[in-house]
Chains A and B, each alone.
Chain A
């Protein structure tokens, strides 16, 4: 690798202060540090050795945790496509269709996002942060495969500029960047991200007779509006073209329509396992989101005022994006509560609010996105009170 190092060292001189390309120093640096770890050593004062971990490795761990969701998502996009057409297909064809839809979305998200990051690094003269590597993957995974690419670009740009850079970049943002992108699309272009948009059918193709792209959440909303029995309509859904599509196990494994990466609770749990085992994600948040949703589900079961409330609480954990949101969105350390006590409150709050939105406000079928954004805003407040309790303990000790 010496020739590569030499080439980089040689090029580096052009980017240094006072040289022709000094403005682009941080772009060069980001490429340099991606290839080689820097040779910086610790200062004369302060710690003389540093931990082997760095931001790049941490962010990469999150991306690795998302890979099961991504791969399953690619397969599932293809699978749902052929189910909708009523055809049997080879594994390779399924993957091919899936990749055809998913890869461009990922590419657009990364190109637009990194383009903006690079631009900001030139104008603001700050190093390029690794945060977008994760965001750039999260955005595609929470969008339907049918989303127009220009919307992906627009949403990414909005999220990175307004959601992150306006606050000062990675580590400073208040709202989860990927969810900001999704919320932007949800409110700006609702027709492409709600309703029966989840299955890619194709321009000239005809869906099989009786096909409907409704998700369990839509069925729930329907149940609230029309008083149909939620569980009956779930179990009878898909009859003739995919029996038992909304059975509990099928939804747990994720063989159903939905956003690209979020359908499989199992894959999310594998991701959660990676995040927790590596210590990168907070198990407290992940666990408490699930617990909060389940608990709220049970409470609503107790009321049972409408058919959606009667749905068994554990169904809440596998329908919609709850699992994905809990594992990859809620646990984002920058926008979550930062104190350990706060993390419990934050997680429970998200889980409970998600179910409340789902069941009590059918205008917004998916609650997890709004619940997380809502608690992103409240996280500093939660921390404020946790920290205040600490200060109070200190003061009380003084007067004793």
Chain B
């Protein structure tokens, strides 16, 4: 039963520098990296390669010491040029210098009709060893799915409502067959539905228009309408004990390709956007790409922040850093490390705010140039009722956060910790008058519940 959902709560952040609708190639060779910290739920990676080894796309690089079934594989073929470690020898990056022509590990190949007759076990083992499995994220906790579980349903969000988000109609163009094959594969993993959620009040991208064998739902509204957690909450909410799997369409396509082509192909189209980019546009590359070739001679000013992902949930990276495995966006915005005289009270039409407190006169519908300045100092919770306005779920964010801070397990469960991950409350963190680190509080709560 397909559903149509209209969300009234939420907030769209409009930023300057949306990517233009054109796709550029990046000159090869370039370096790529696998970052263990991208993978939520991964505890202690055990390396399977050494520096100097040559690998193919799909060669296992490491696996979790607690789970040797799920392989984390190289996104490209090439040579391992460096293993960067941090404090206590924690592995931060495994760097790979890519070949000019990418060569692939060979996996079993199926035709569309053969694929229909495969059992879950056969499909699963190929997904685990090829590296494709890490695209399946499990709720609750937002961690990589446990291969021994059967989810009650599987969710895929067909649009991204984050600030400057890439247009899925562009980045997945022409991948219909792989997407359909991926969905057919996923269907074997659940007794319930595979939900595919599209934007309600917009034209459906051609790549999504012919998809079958899924439950098509429509979700209309402001951000976070595109967040999978919000969609699950309204379509088939997670209760205690439930397991739901979620994927990005990119992951579904990757799984489809794995079976139709017999290769682990991490090629993706990413958007480079933000107010400091001279030519915001799309680029064709692979997962874990170095952003350096993209931003070289393409940035307006010196003091900027590079973000892998969007401005709400992304991570800061260096100018020679690498994109996160799951990201399709690089955002470049100005750093805000400047003092401003009486900036806390002067009326302004240039600053973006969800609130309408004295002097914040800007219309939120126009596009803004926002810096990384915190615009204020951390304080205790004071303002009430605002988090609810940007959280289109039947959840009390403040109470949930306080329960986490107090480590009250019963309250966390009762108030819906199983239904959220960081990104679902990211807008609360943005609008918070008291400048709390809400996303890290949410993760703390999830870790508490999951590991104790």
Contact = CB atoms under 8 A, between A and B. Distances in A.
Question: Are A and B part of the same complex?
Answer: yes
Contact of B432 (A4, A39, A51, A61): A51
A357 to B, nearest CB: 26
A51 B440 contact: no
Q: Interface centre among A45, A130, A393, by most B CB within 10 Å?
A: A45
Given A56-B344, A170-B382, A393-B394, A127 B377 contact: yes
Interface stretch (A249-257, A337-345, A348-356): A337-345
Interface in A251-287: 277-280, 282
Interface in A278-312: 278-280, 282
A38 B385 contact: no
Interface stretch (B175-183, B195-203, B312-320): B312-320
Contact of A48 (B333, B354, B381): B333
A394 B418 CA distance: 11
Contact of B375 (A4, A35, A51, A338): A51
A55 B379 contact: yes
A226 interface: no
B174 interface: no
A48 B314 CA distance: 7
B331 interface: yes
Given A39-B337, A55-B379, A131-B382, A45 B440 contact: yes
Contacts of A41: 305, 335-337, 371-374
Interface residues of B, number: 75
A170 B344 contact: no
B340 interface: yes
Contacts of A38: 339, 374, 376-377
A46 interface: yes
Interface in A30-85: 33-58, 60-61, 64
Contact of A387 (B336, B348, B385, B396): B396
B433 A54 contact: yes
Interface residues of A, number: 62
Q: Interface centre among B342, B356, B385, B426, by most A CB within 10 Å?
A: B385
Contacts of B451: none
Interface string B316-355: 1000000000000001010111111111110010011111
B314 A390 contact: no
B374 A40 contact: yes
A276 B437 CA distance: 27
A5 B13 CA distance: 32
B433 A58 contact: yes
B377 A33 contact: yes
A397 B348 CA distance: 46
A171 interface: yes
Contacts of A56: 344-345, 376
A51 B411 CA distance: 29
A47 B382 contact: no
Contacts of B438: 46
B383 interface: yes
A295 B438 CA distance: 41
Given A36-B340, A47-B429, A397-B237, A339 B396 contact: yes
Interface of B: 13, 237, 239-241, 305, 307, 311-316, 331, 333, 335-345, 348, 351-360, 370-386, 388, 394-396, 398-399, 414-416, 426, 429-435, 437-440
Interface of A: 1, 4-5, 33-58, 60-61, 64, 127, 129-131, 168-172, 277-280, 282, 333-334, 336, 338-340, 343, 383, 387, 390-391, 393-395, 397-398
